[in-house]
Amino acid sequence: MAALTSSEKIRCAWAAGSTIYSTYHDEEWGVPLHGDQELFERVSLEGFQAGLSWITILNKRPRFREVFAEFDPSIVANFGESKVAELMNDAGIVRNRQKIHAIIHNAQLVQAMPAGEFDALLWSFAPAMHTRPNTASEIPATTPESIALSKELRGRGFKFVGPTTMYALMQATGMVDDHVAGCWRAIP
């Protein structure tokens, strides 16, 4: 049997109509992701997305990676006010002072953890069982696990990690499988 071409694949409805969305859906969204730096990037980008569309973040992601040192917590943790001022003048990213300060602060918290602890902490909230939705209307904005993860991270001092943002993180990093039934990426 021949492999389906990208245009023949049935995807989750949100991934239709945009090459950047379909590529993200096909290659990243819902794929289990591990690593302190990799997960720090995703927590950071989800925080920047709050109040904006995800496509805005995807379009700006190459520049985010460049100016945030590939989201290496050991580098970002040392950003000072001159770097913040530089970032506030960079139209290639979302210029929100609170969010920029939050990323630097969160990097300091990740940096203070032993290697692997941030990854283990986030994944400890992945539900043991998760029922794949049949339709997009069945996908929740939050779950008990995302609420608990948000509470844990906030308790540790993390910022821009609300329950909805944390559920989006869980979806994006494969902690839950929210590819709707019939989507070619849905895990059997």
In the chain, the domains with their CATH numbers are: 31-173 (1.10.340.30)
Q: How far is CA 157 from CA 119, 125, 161, in A?
A: 17, 17, 10
Two tokens at 175? 């902690």
Residues making up the chain, counted from first to last: 188
Percentage above 70 pLDDT, the chain: 95
22 vs 163: CA distance, rounded Å: 25
Q: What is the pTM of this model?
A: 0.93
Active site residue 24: yes
Q: Given the residues 21, 29, 41, 46, select the one marked as catalytic.
A: 46
Active site residue 29: no
- Residues at the binding site for Zn(2+) are 12, 25, 179, 183
Active site residue 14: no
Task: Render pLDDT for 71-125 as a digit per residue (tens, 0 to 9).
Answer: 999 999 999 999 999 999 999 999 999 999 999 999 999 999 999 999 999 999 9
